[in-house]
């Protein structure tokens, strides 16, 4: 049976008020922490995107416009684009090998604010290269250089 000082929860009015006050403070603290963590994560994501501009061989400075277009592109696509800038032959084959070699555990890849070394798997890179070749054929462009690169990567898939 409820008396004048007890609510249907079994708490006194004072206890109910104290519980609501504590709950409100805890919810407020969690919201503040969540917002702070989200802001920190957003900053980390932006830094990560900035660092994801990748080159396998050599370093080239890029402008803000190029950075914006590259940061939204998958690593395999960026790797493919860089591989196509490397002269055909042994140099390109070595660059493919580098792109498909994961870093050793704990190895510092030497990335900086504008560049980060990344790698991928042969099947993932092959998938992107084949898509790029289809795009070029659809656009009526020459895809011979891509086909050559596809052959190199296909050999890595067979290993």
Residue-wise DSSP of 55-104:
-SSS-----HHHHHHHHTS-HHHHHHHHHHHSPTTHHHHHHHHHHT-PPP
- Whether 30 is in a domain gets the answer no
CA gap 23, 42 in Å, rounded: 28
pLDDT of residue 67: 65
Domain that holds residue 84: 52-157
Residue at 32 is within a domain = no
- pLDDT of res. 31: 83
Q: b/e for 41-78, b at 16 or more Cβ within 10 A?
A: eeeeeeeeebbbbbbbeeeeeeeeeeeeebeebebbbb
Contact 79, 99 (CB under 8 A): yes
pLDDT tens, the chain, 159 aa long: 455 566 777 888 888 889 889 988 888 888 888 888 888 887 776 666 555 544 333 345 566 676 666 666 678 888 888 899 898 889 988 888 888 887 776 665 555 545 556 778 889 889 989 999 999 999 999 989 999 999 999 988 865
Classify residue 72: in a domain, yes or no. Answer: yes
* In-domain check, residue 20: no
- 22 belongs to a structural domain: no
For the purposes of burial, counting CB atoms within 10 Å of the CB of 131, is it exposed (0-12), middle (13-18) or buried (19 or more)?
middle
Confidence at residue 109, expressed as pLDDT on a 0 to 100 scale: 56
- The number of beta carbons lying within 10 Å of the beta carbon of residue 7 is 11
Domains contained in the chain, number = 1
Instruction: Say if CB 145 and CB 152 are below 8 A apart.
Output: no
What does the pLDDT read at residue 134?
92
Q: Is residue 7 part of a domain?
A: no
In this structure, is residue 148 part of a structural domain?
A: yes
Sign of CA dihedral 115, 120, 124, 126: positive
Does the residue 80 lie in any domain? yes
Instruction: Please state, in angstroms and rounded to a whole number, the distance separating the CA atoms of residues 44 and 118.
Output: 17
- Residue/partner pairs of 63-67 with CB below 8 Å, 24 or more apart: 67/114
**pLDDT value at position 137?**
92
């Amino acid at each position: 049976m409820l008396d004048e000082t007890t609510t249907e929860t079994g708490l006194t009015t004072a206890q109910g008020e104290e519980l609501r006050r504590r709950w409100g403070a805890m919810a407020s603290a969690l919201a503040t922490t969540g917002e702070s963590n989200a802001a920190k994560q957003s900053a980390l994501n932006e830094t990560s995107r900035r660092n994801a501009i990748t080159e396998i061989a050599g370093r080239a400075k890029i402008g803000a416009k190029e950075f914006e277009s590259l940061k939204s592109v998958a690593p395999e696509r960026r790797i493919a684009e860089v591989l196509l800038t490397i002269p055909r032959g042994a140099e390109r084959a070595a660059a493919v090998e580098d792109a498909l070699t994961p870093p050793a555990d704990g190895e510092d890849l030497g990335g900086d604010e504008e560049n980060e070394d990344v790698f991928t798997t042969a099947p993932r890179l092959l998938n992107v290269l084949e898509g790029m070749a289809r795009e070029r054929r659809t656009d009526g462009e020459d895809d011979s250089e891509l086909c050559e690169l596809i052959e190199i990567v296909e050999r890595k898939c067979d290993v």
